[in-house]
Structure 1
Amino acid sequence: MKRGARLRGSAALVLASLAVLPNWGWAERPAALPQGPLDLDQAVRIGLENHPSLMAAQARTKEREAQVRSATAGYRPRLYAEGILRQGRQIGGEDEGRFTDDSEARIVLEQDLYDFGAREAAGRAARFEREAAELELFDAQQRRVLAIRRQFYDTLLADRQVQVWNEAMAVAFIRWDYGQGREELGEISPVELARLESRFRDFRSKYRGAQYDARLARVRLAHAMGLEDAMPRDLVRPDLDLDRELPSVQELRNRAWRTNPRLIAARQRLDAARARTERRKAQRLPRVVGEVGAQRYSRQFDFRNDVEAAIRVEAPLYEGGRLGARVEAARAAAQQERASWLELRQQVEENIYDAHLDVQSWQERRAYAEALVRHRELKTDLARTEYVLELETDLGDSLTEQTRAEMKLAEAKFGLAMAYDRLDALVGEPLASKTEKRQ
């Protein structure tokens, strides 16, 4: 009982986090991009409002809500009318041997009074399924936020790559152009000039490829946001707080076992399967039904009931093993759900370890990239000084290498941010409720 109470509390905690999220309304048409530069918060908001995968998840939630009403509908009061058109041959009396009208009409109100818990079990199963669907909707929102952020970062990195190859191409062109004059003066050989040209052509090809990749990254970002025929142009680089305290992997694992939405949803489905098993068992037992009816007859008798009230006991005596087979099928389904839940626990634990190690790895890569940027900045400053003093130097190479180092740092920061987001998603932390600047 205590474990069940804790699970229900965890489910309530994660479901309550849905209230933190905006009330996303589904538009008939995908929204247009906002005017001006696009920031990360805007991209997430548009994606949560428009992406088809979330529309499907919300539709499944509504379907489960309908199943809750349907599951208990059979146990609510039943009011029905019945009409019988009947002809019968009379025995005795003045009309003996003649066929006379013996039709009747009745209206009946029935209510199950006691069913050994079948109704309550059906309601619990439906509620568990609905809660599981709500958790799956929350998990779909989490995965959509992760997808949008990853594509947003990839687009920014694609822009950086364009800048890297553009600078390299510019330096190579200047050298090739300068080399043409030197070759005419006989200072370099035609072979060296051809090498300079091929180097420029190589960088130009890479620059063009980077431009194409940047365009494709924007299309993918638009699709991650649920947009069609749209290409985000200017992106605002997010200000990320990456100096977070990293809890121990054991602490994160234990928290994820309590609050991971997929894991809680799997537990809810297991509880629903067990409730359905209880319902199937109860259907093999008798049930008590209360009945109130009123009727009218076409033939008149001295004594006949026009209003009746009764308590009816229905007990299945023989049904060819149908009810027993349903019980066994429900038990097997519950065992499958339990196996899926246990397997998912292991998967969540593995994902926690992987994400925890990923954070540590990106922290190291970030530290290396920061050191590399400092080194390249010093080299560029030295190259500028030598250039001013008209010493032999190559300022273009220094600037290009500095840009490459800055790209490595941006890649490390975005990778670290995604690793933290992945950990947050695994422990059920609402990603969509975070502001862009997570400080």
Structure 2
Amino acid sequence: MKRGNPLRGVLPALGLLLLLADPVRADGRSALPDGPLEIRQAVRLGLQHHPDLLAAQGRVREREARLRSATAGYRPRLYAEGIYRQGRQIGGRDEGKFTDDSEARVVLEQRLYDFGARAAAGRAARARREASEVALFDARQSRILAIRRQFYDVLLADRQVQVWNEAMAVAFVRWDYGKGRRELGDISPVELARLESRFRRFRSNYRSAQYDARLARVRLAHAMGLEDAVPRDLVRPDPDLDRELPSVQELRDRAWRTNPRLIAARQRLEAARADADRREAQRLPRFVGEVVTQRYARQFDFRNEVEAAIRLEAPLYEGGRLGARAEAARAEAQQRRADWLRLRARVEENIYDAHLDVQSWREKRAYARALLQYRKLKTDLARTEYVLELETDLGDSLTEQTRAELKLARAEFGLAMAYDRLDALVGEPLGPNTEKAR
């Protein structure tokens, strides 16, 4: 029964994504833009220079070479042979003497029929090549996800630095003001010590946040495959978060057809089955046609200078090697099918998890928006009270507003990554651009 090609609907999109990146340069270095780095620029640079993609591209070229090797059996084989031979002659005037009986041959050989062994080898090689192409597509998808995740982490780390910086500033003002009040005897030494410890704690958190921000930039550079270059200023992206979310059943059915890893697993299963067919066919006879032209050092009237023949080659006894290889190939195909079934179940679980993740981040985003709106109103109220010289806590209000902005940013970036993960699971090309159209 002829099977349909599962790559038919995916390879066009794969081709589009492969065009997004330039060939990988040998040195793997990249010049960062002069201005602030945008997320689409980070993705483009990462697709050009990361070693994981270089390795995946190498596997594609390797499988292409193996395909050419496997299909070479369909073409004729032309080769030359030279044999230097000395033999003791029987009969004739030189009887009993060693004479030159060397020969030279040019052979044109073509395999005519082998019960499908060559065709099976070609199917296996083509399936493995297609699997490597899909694996390259999946490696690009994974690289884009990693770059975007690290890009968001840098932005969140910077915002966390801002939160602790504002909290530290407020704590320092209170501690400094407390020292003046302590000189007047308005507060106790215990209260002053509490204000100082609070400032020191916030300062320690601020320093730790600075270190985390530096480390996040290094991780972003590594995700982009950069050497001796660390991104500094980043532009906050504006991802499209108001998207329609299909039903989980629709996404699961689509993923079963278009998930890159599932497609690659199916192609490896097809390759294993084709290998099993090839091993079975090798146990059967084969017919080979050949045309030979030859020259001999010793001349006889009955020797042919040109010959044409059809040769039958049949394995009679090989010590069980061919049977063992066929059995091993069938076992390999069984294992590849088990791998495919396990991966199919895992993809279904991942779809459900990603679908729920999107819904969860939507709720967190709605809460963060409401919290930020509340904090902005509280800050406005605190400013009004400050202007009227009433008792207020404007510093704390500003700090809490910054915390709410951080919470909203974390929710928006988490939702963006959840959507990206869902797109990757269904084989949707992510591409360098993640922002909504303006």
With normalisation by structure 1, the TM-score equals 0.97
**Equivalence for 1:316:** 315
The answer to whether the Cα contact below 8 Å between 2:21 and 2:44 also exists between their aligned partners in 1 is no
* Correspondence 1:144-163 to 2 at 5 A: 144-163=143-162
TM superposition shift of 1:97: 2.1
Size of the alignment, in residue pairs? 435
1:12 aligns with 2:8: yes
Q: Compute the displacement of 1:190 (Å).
A: 1.4
Question: What value does the CA root-mean-square deviation take over the aligned residues?
Answer: 1.2
SS in 1 for 2:386: helix
Q: Which runs of 5+ in 1 are unaligned?
A: none
Partner SS, residue 311 of structure 1: strand
Q: 285-294 vs 87-96, which deviates more? A: 87-96
SS in 1 for 2:94: coil
SS of residue paired to 1:24: coil
SS of the counterpart of 1:230? coil
Give, as a single letter, the amino acid of the residue that structure 1 aligns with 2:25: A
Cα distance in structure 2, aligned partners of 1:79 and 1:350: 55
Question: In the alignment, which residue of structure 2 is the partner of 1:140?
Answer: 139
CA-CA distance at 1:435 after TM superposition? 4.5
Contact 1:125 1:271 in 2 (8 A): yes
Q: The residue matched to 1:13 in structure 2 has which SS?
A: coil
Instruction: Summarize deviations over 1:327-384 as a string: whole Å, max 9, x none.
Output: 1010000000000000000000000010011111101100110010011011111111
What is the CA–CA distance in structure 1 between the aligned matches of 2:349 and 2:437, rounded to whole Å? 26
| Deviation sequence 1:158-206 (CA, Å, 0-9, x none) | 0000000000001011111111111111111111111111111111111
Matches within 5 A, 1:390-405: 390-405=389-404
Distance 1:88 1:235 in 2: 84
| Match of residue 389 from structure 1 | 388
Provide the residue aligned with 1:283 in structure 2. Answer: 282
CA drift of 1:75 comes to 4.4
Task: Find out whether 1:295 has 2:294 as its counterpart.
Answer: yes
Q: Does the 8 A contact of 2:73 with 2:111 survive in 1?
A: no
| Aligned equivalent of 1:115 | 114
Runs of 4+ with deviation above 4 angstroms: none
Q: Percent identity?
A: 79
Q: 1:40 and 1:413 mapped to 2: Cα distance?
A: 15
Whether the 8 Å contact between 2:239 and 2:434 is mirrored in structure 1 is no
How far the C-alpha of 1:74 sits from its partner, in A, is 3.9
State the match for 2:262 in structure 1.
Answer: 263
- Tell me what 2:22 maps to: 24
Aligned to 2:216: 217
Matched residues in 2 for 1:91 and 1:195: separation?
117
Equivalent residue of 1:392, what SS?
coil
- String of CA shifts for 1:233-282, please: whole Å, max 9, x gaps: 11000011101111111000000000000000000000000011111111
Partner residue in 1 for 2:233: 234
- C-alpha separation between the residues in 2 aligned to 1:184 and 1:434? 60
Deviations 1:199-224 (A, max 9, x none): 11111111111111101100000000
DSSP 3-state at the match of 2:303: coil
Bigger mean CA deviation after superposition, 418-427 or 180-189: 180-189
Identify if the C-alpha distance between structure 1 residues 141 and 158 changes in structure 2 by more than 3 Å, giving closer, same or farther: same
Corresponding letter in the other structure for 1:109: L
Establish whether residue 167 from structure 1 lines up as the match of residue 166 from structure 2.
yes
- Write the distance in 2 (CA, Å) between the matches of 1:162 and 1:84: 81
User: 2:242 matched to which residue of 1?
Assistant: 243
Of residues 13-22 and 175-184 in structure 1, the stretch that sits farther from structure 2 once superposed is 13-22
Aligned 8 A contact 1:72 1:123 in 2: yes
Could you report, residue by residue, the CA deviation over 1:51-79 in whole angstroms, capped at 9, with x for unpaired residues? 11111111111111111011223443221
Partner of 1:73: 72
Contact residue 121 and residue 274 of structure 2 kept, 8 A? yes
Q: Which amino acid aligns with 2:97?
A: R
**Any idea what SS the aligned residue of 1:106 has?**
strand
Decide whether the 8 Å contact of 2:240 with 2:435 is kept in 1: no
Matches within 5 A, 1:175-194: 175-194=174-193
Q: Secondary structure at the match of 2:22?
A: coil
More moved, 127-136 vs 97-106: 97-106
**Counterpart secondary structure, 1:12:** coil
Mapped to 2, the partners of 1:188 and 1:304 lie a distance apart of 123
What amino acid sits opposite 1:383 in the alignment?
A
Q: 1:385 Cα deviation (Å)? A: 0.8
Whole-angstrom distance in 2 between the partners of 1:389 and 1:85? 113
Q: Is the 8 A contact 2:40 2:432 kept in 1?
A: no
Checking the alignment, whether the CA contact within 8 Å between 1:238 and 1:437 is kept in structure 2 is no
Contact 1:249 1:352 in 2 (8 A): yes
Counterpart Cα distance in 2 of 1:74 and 1:224: 43
Q: Residue type of the partner of 2:15? A: A
- Residue 341 of structure 1 corresponds to 340
What code does the residue aligned with 1:28 have?
A
Question: Which amino acid in 1 is paired with 2:16?
Answer: V
Q: Given the alignment of the two structures, is residue 415 of structure 1 paired with residue 414 of structure 2, yes or no?
A: yes
Aligned residue number for residue 424 of structure 2 = 425
